[in-house]
């Protein structure tokens, strides 16, 4: 093992992470440059090459993300998301607490199966509309949607990019997530919504000035393309059913997602350029670049060193170690993107497994930490950034200080609930 | 024919120090859609239209939701008023850059400029840049149409 290679790969990887955190240079540009630097260093020093880099990319993750992105890109213009938000508004009859819970449920359920960012991007504008019509501040609703989408995404294999990564690396099935993650997420979610209701007590107790106006919102008219929406939802439903049994069929989730995308493309025959424009290629490039960087860390022997460091800590009680992983990963995810953290920690956990540690519970600890940690700060998750950016164009902008007061408690409470349940359920993992 | 043949000569204009509240009162009193803002030499320095004032009252959601067909009632938004502090501000803070035509500008040229720039009224200035009139799309349009009567 060459110390110089190890040091160099460390510098490239952590230098990139710092640049991503610093936010002066776009994170995707940083990742592309970092991965190229890693590859050049590897070629010069002889520990890494193009073939190994391609091997390092987890195409299962990329395929699953791409498939779901295409489905969502097609579902977006149909008005289905607005339709659900309008239904929630009508069902609330203009009562703030009821509206708060209903919008929270809609966002969570969508975030469990679809991309959080898309969910929030489409629900948040309608939320601003509903609250303006009612004459109340949109702030509590917007923040709650972002926070609950972070929490809800942890529940399923396809809910959140870190879960896709963890599922793919650990070989967890869709059902594994429903059995091990969903119950813990459920209790954390309940904790989060009760806490948020308390934190926004003042805003939510204000009586709306025109509560009857929401009853004049027409859900049918917000659903612009009902036929297309129905077709995509049928395909999406079938895909979710297949996710339940994918491990029995020996089919990777990526094939199901890409298959669903293919079937709905054929059934709907949309303008393919428009659909592909909406796919977030930058995210896929970001993932690919991070995989290549972490592959460099692995082949230079740097990861082995980190694993040895952790082994020192493995004298620690395994349950305590797991809880510690939840909180450390959560704290990191609150300030940096949780994707690079997850991609970097996956080989570390695999290394600990090779060293003889029982790592099944650690995967779940990583999932909870990466998912719940995003709630902690305004930049913790993409959903947070989106509602904050949208709110800047309204009369009640969400500031970093507001987020610390209302979002950080949610992160702490969800992590605490997850930790308690993790300890109680440890023997079952 | 040029734009002076159809423009209104008794044009109402305001200095940049006028408050938004005062400007709103002038729109109401004169029943007009656009107020040229002029300096002390009567040279246009900007314009303020009814739509610039109404923007203050528009709900935030119209910036985010492209299609508002499904919203049959704007609810509480209908009775919101801009805060007093906003109304006290001078029109300088709200006015847009002015696009003018000179007095010898042809009718079709003036009309096409208005189409391209999405203007409903266009201030007319003299050779030395002083405001001398204002013409609307209707003023210019009907003057052009008049010529059609002579076609056999």
Q: Which domains does chain B have, with CATH numbers?
A: 3-150 (3.10.580.10)
- B42 Rama class: left (phi>0) / alpha (psi -120 to 50) / beta: left
Spatial contact of A20 and A340, defined as CB atoms under 8 Å apart: yes
Q: For residue A282, give Cα distances in angstroms to A23, A65, A324, A338, B26.
A: 16, 12, 32, 16, 52
In chain B, the residue whose alpha carbon lies closest to the alpha carbon of A213 is B75
Spatial contact of A256 and A242, defined as CB atoms under 8 Å apart: yes
* CA A254 – CA A265 distance, rounded (Å): 16
Q: Is A341 helix (H, G, I), strand (E, B) or coil?
A: helix
* CA B68 – CA B76 distance, rounded (Å): 16
Task: Write the ipTM.
Answer: 0.75
How far is CA A379 from its chain centroid? 13
Spatial contact of A137 and A396, defined as CB atoms under 8 Å apart: yes
**Regions of chain A with pLDDT less than 70:** 1, 313-314
* CA A386 – CA A389 distance, rounded (Å): 5
Closest CA to A119 of A67, A81, A162, A66: A81
Give B97's DSSP letter. Answer: -
Enumerate residues 6+ apart whose C-beta is below 8 A from B60. Answer: A128, A132, A393, A394, A395
Tallying the residues shown for chain A, one arrives at: 429
Predicted local confidence at residue A1, as pLDDT: 60
Q: What is the arrangement of strands in the sheet containing B131-136, beginning at the earlier edge strand? A: B101-102, B121-125, B131-136
Spatial contact of B26 and B75, defined as CB atoms under 8 Å apart: no
Q: What is the arrangement of strands in the sheet containing B44-49, beginning at the earlier edge strand? A: B14-15, B34-38, B44-49
Q: Is A351 near chain B, with CB under 8 Å?
A: no
Task: List pLDDT tens digits, range A411-423.
Answer: 999 999 999 999 9
The DSSP bridge partners found for residue B15 are B38
How far is CA A255 from its chain centroid? 20
Of A86, A126, A133, the CB nearest to B75: A133
* CA A224 – CA A83 distance, rounded (Å): 9
Q: Tokens 């199901």 belong to which residue? A: A256
Closest CA to A160 of A203, A109, A113, A119: A113
Token pair belonging to A313: 């800590």
* CA A268 – CA B32 distance, rounded (Å): 50
Spatial contact of A417 and A368, defined as CB atoms under 8 Å apart: no
Strands B121-125 and B131-136: antiparallel
pLDDT tens digits in sequence order for chain B, 152 residues long: 899 999 999 999 999 999 999 999 999 999 999 999 999 999 999 999 999 999 888 888 888 887 888 999 898 888 888 889 999 999 999 999 999 999 999 999 999 999 999 999 999 999 999 999 999 999 999 999 998 988 77
Enumerate residues 6+ apart whose C-beta is below 8 A from A311. Answer: A352, A355, A357
Count of beta carbons in the 10 Å neighbourhood of residue A331: 15
Q: Is A224 helix (H, G, I), strand (E, B) or coil?
A: coil
User: What percentage of chain A has pLDDT greater than the value 90?
Assistant: 76
Q: Is A137 helix (H, G, I), strand (E, B) or coil?
A: coil
CB contact under 8 A, A132 and B63: no
Spatial contact of B95 and B53, defined as CB atoms under 8 Å apart: no
CB contact under 8 A, A133 and B72: no
Q: Is A392 near chain B, with CB under 8 Å?
A: no
Q: Is A389 near chain B, with CB under 8 Å?
A: no
Closest CA to A232 of A173, A284, A275: A275
* CA A123 – CA A133 distance, rounded (Å): 15
Enumerate residues 6+ apart whose C-beta is below 8 A from A15. Answer: A34
Spatial contact of A377 and A400, defined as CB atoms under 8 Å apart: yes
Q: Which residues from B are below 8 Å from A222, CB to CB?
A: 67, 69-70
* CA A359 – CA A344 distance, rounded (Å): 16
Q: Which residues from B are below 8 Å from A389, CB to CB?
A: none
Q: Which residues from A are below 8 Å from B70, CB to CB?
A: 82, 86, 217-222
- B95 Rama class: left (phi>0) / alpha (psi -120 to 50) / beta: beta
Token pair belonging to A151: 């929490």
Q: For residue A124, give Cα distances in angstroms to A76, A88, A160, A405.
A: 13, 13, 19, 21
Spatial contact of A31 and A293, defined as CB atoms under 8 Å apart: yes
Q: Is B74 near chain A, with CB under 8 Å?
A: yes
Q: Which of A129, A213, A218 to mutate to test the interface with B (most CBs of B within 10 A)?
A: A129
Predicted local confidence at residue A360, as pLDDT: 92
Alpha helical stretches, state H, A93-138:
96-113, 116-134
Tallying the residues shown for chain B, one arrives at: 152
DSSP string, A373-429: HTTSSTTSSHHHHHHHHHHHTSSSPPPHHHHHHHTHHHHHHHHHHHHHHHHHHGGG-
CB contact under 8 A, A221 and B69: yes
How far is CA A375 from its chain centroid? 11
Give B131's DSSP letter. Answer: E
Token pair belonging to A343: 């991609």
Q: Is A398 near chain B, with CB under 8 Å?
A: no
The B residues from 26 to 65 touching A (CB cutoff 8 Å) are: 59-61, 63-65
Helix axes A382-392, A116-134, angle to 10 degrees: 30
């Amino acid at each position: 093992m060459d110390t110089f290679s190890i040091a160099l790969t460390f510098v490239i990887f952590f230098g990139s992470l710092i640049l991503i955190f610093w936010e002066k240079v776009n994170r995707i540009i940083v990742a592309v440059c970092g991965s190229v630097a890693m590859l050049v260093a590897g070629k010069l020093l002889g520990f890494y090459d193009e073939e190994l880099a391609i091997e390092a990319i987890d195409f299962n993750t990329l395929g699953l993300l791409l498939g779901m992105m295409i489905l969502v890109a097609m579902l977006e213009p149909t008005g289905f998301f607005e339709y659900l938000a309008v239904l929630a508004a009508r069902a609330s009859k203009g009562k703030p607490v009821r509206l708060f819970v209903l919008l929270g449920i809609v966002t969570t359920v969508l975030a469990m199966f679809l991309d959080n960012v898309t969910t929030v991007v489409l629900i948040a504008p309608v939320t601003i509309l509903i609250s303006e019509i009612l004459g109340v501040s949109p702030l509590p609703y917007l923040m709650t949607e972002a926070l609950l989408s972070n929490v809800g995404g942890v529940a399923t294999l396809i809910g959140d990019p870190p879960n896709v990564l963890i599922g793919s690396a650990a070989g967890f099935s869709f059902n594994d997530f429903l059995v091990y993650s969903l119950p813990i997420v459920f209790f954390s979610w309940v904790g989060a919504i009760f806490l948020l209701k308390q934190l926004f007590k003042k805003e939510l107790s204000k009586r709306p000035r025109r509560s009857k106006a929401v009853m004049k919102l027409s859900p049918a008219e917000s659903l612009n393309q009902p036929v297309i929406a129905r077709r995509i939802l049928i395909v999406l439903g079938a895909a979710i059913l297949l996710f339940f049994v994918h491990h029995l069929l020996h089919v990777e989730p990526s094939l199901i997602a890409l298959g669903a995308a293919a079937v709905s493309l054929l059934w709907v025959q949309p303008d393919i350029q428009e659909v592909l424009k909406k796919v977030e290629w930058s995210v896929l490039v970001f993932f690919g670049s991070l995989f290549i960087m972490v592959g460099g860390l692995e082949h230079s022997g740097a990861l082995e060193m980190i694993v040895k460091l952790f082994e020192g800590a493995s004298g620690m009680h395994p349950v305590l170690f797991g809880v510690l992983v939840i909180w450390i990963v959560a704290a990191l995810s609150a300030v940096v993107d949780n994707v690079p953290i997850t991609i970097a920690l996956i080989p570390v956990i695999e290394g600990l497994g090779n060293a003889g540690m029982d790592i099944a519970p650690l995967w779940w600890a990583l999932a909870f930490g990466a998912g719940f940690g995003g709630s902690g700060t305004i930049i913790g998750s993409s959903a947070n950034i989106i509602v904050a950016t949208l709110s800047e164009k309204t009369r009640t902008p969400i500031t970093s200080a507001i987020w610390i007061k209302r979002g950080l408690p949610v992160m702490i409470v969800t992590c605490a609930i997850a930790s308690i349940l993790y300890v109680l359920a440890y023997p079952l993992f | 024919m040029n734009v002076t043949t159809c423009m209104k000569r008794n044009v109402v204009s305001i200095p940049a120090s006028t408050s938004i509240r005062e400007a709103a009162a002038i729109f109401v009193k004169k029943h007009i859609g656009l107020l040229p803002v002029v300096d002390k030499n009567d040279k246009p320095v900007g314009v303020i239209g009814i739509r610039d004032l109404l923007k203050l009252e528009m709900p935030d959601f119209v910036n985010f939701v492209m299609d508002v067909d499904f919203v049959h009632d704007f609810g509480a938004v209908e009775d919101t008023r801009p805060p007093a502090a906003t109304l006290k501000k001078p029109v300088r803070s709200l006015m847009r850059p002015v696009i003018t035509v000179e007095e010898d500008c042809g009718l079709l040229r003036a009309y096409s400029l208005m189409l391209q720039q999405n203007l409903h009224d266009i201030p007319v200035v003299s050779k030395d840049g002083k405001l001398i009139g204002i013409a609307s799309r209707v003023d210019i349009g009907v003057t052009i149409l008049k010529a059609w009567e002579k076609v056999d």
